[in-house]
Structure 1
Amino acid sequence: MSTAASQASAFYREIAESGVIWSIRDDNGFPAPLTFTGRRAMPFWSSESRALVVIGGVAAYHGFRPVAISWNDFRERWIPGLTRDELLAGINWSGSRAIGFDILPSDLARNVEALRNSG
């Protein structure tokens, strides 16, 4: 399993268990940088600690703070908004450049919901 695939697997499992998804923001809002594919992606993490590692380790995100979002709010409000704005969802970005797996918001919701419904 690739690093991105293992990060994605942990992401879905941890959110399904906790019912919380994490993002980061600063005074200008939530980041949505261009990815290598030329599309914008908003990053999300499955734990506050994962988000804090990126804030502390990636210069572009210094000054950001972690934000907890309940899974229900994310599913009902954020997924439609991300879809409307044609943003991808970045999953547990990591490393010195804060990169990882980017997917359609609807796929993120489907994958987490499948785990929540299976337990």
Structure 2
Amino acid sequence: MSTSAAQAAAFYEEALRERSVWTIRDGAGYPAPLNADGERAQPFWSLRSRAERIVAQLPAYAGFVVEEVPLNRFRERWLCGLGSDGIRVGLNWSGARATGYDAAAADVERRFAAAGPPPTPE
């Protein structure tokens, strides 16, 4: 299994367990850089520590703040909006270049749905 595949698998497992995902933003909003295929992707991580590591280690993400998104809101609102905007979901980007799998929002929701209904807020 590749590093990207392992990170993607961990994304779903950890997000379901923690009931949240994490993204980053700055004064201009949320980043959605172009990937190698010329598509925009917004990064999301399954653990706060994963997002913080990218912000701390990569100069391109210096100045961003880490933001929690409850999993039910991510599934019900964010994925719909990202899909409508044609923005892919970056899954647990890692490494010196913050790379990994970028999935279509509908595919991300299908994977979560296969695991069961959205968790209810506590």
TM-score where L is the length of structure 1: 0.94
- Name the counterpart of 1:100: 100
Whether the 8 Å contact between 1:16 and 1:113 is mirrored in structure 2 is no
Cα shift at 1:80: 1.0
Q: Which digits, 9 at most, give the CA deviation of each residue in 1:72-96, with x for residues without a partner?
A: 1111111111011100000000111
CA distance in 1, matches of 2:91, 2:29: 18
Q: How many residues align?
A: 117
Indicate the percent of aligned positions where both proteins have the same amino acid. 46
Distance 2:108 2:63 in 1: 27
Q: What do you get for the CA RMSD once the two structures are aligned?
A: 1.0
2:87 match: 87
1:108 aligned counterpart, secondary structure: helix
Letter paired with 2:27: D
Q: Deviations over 1:12-58 (max 9, x none)?
A: 00011111011000111100000000000000000000000100111
The DSSP-based 3-state class of the residue aligned with 1:110 is helix
Instruction: Report how far residue 112 of structure 1 moved.
Output: 2.2
Match of 2:120 in 1: none
Task: Please give the alpha-carbon distance, in whole angstroms, between the structure 2 residues aligned to 1:63 and 1:44.
Answer: 17
Distance in 2 between residues matched to 1:116 and 1:2, nearest whole Å: 26
TM-score under structure 2 length normalisation: 0.92
**Paired residue type of 1:22:** W
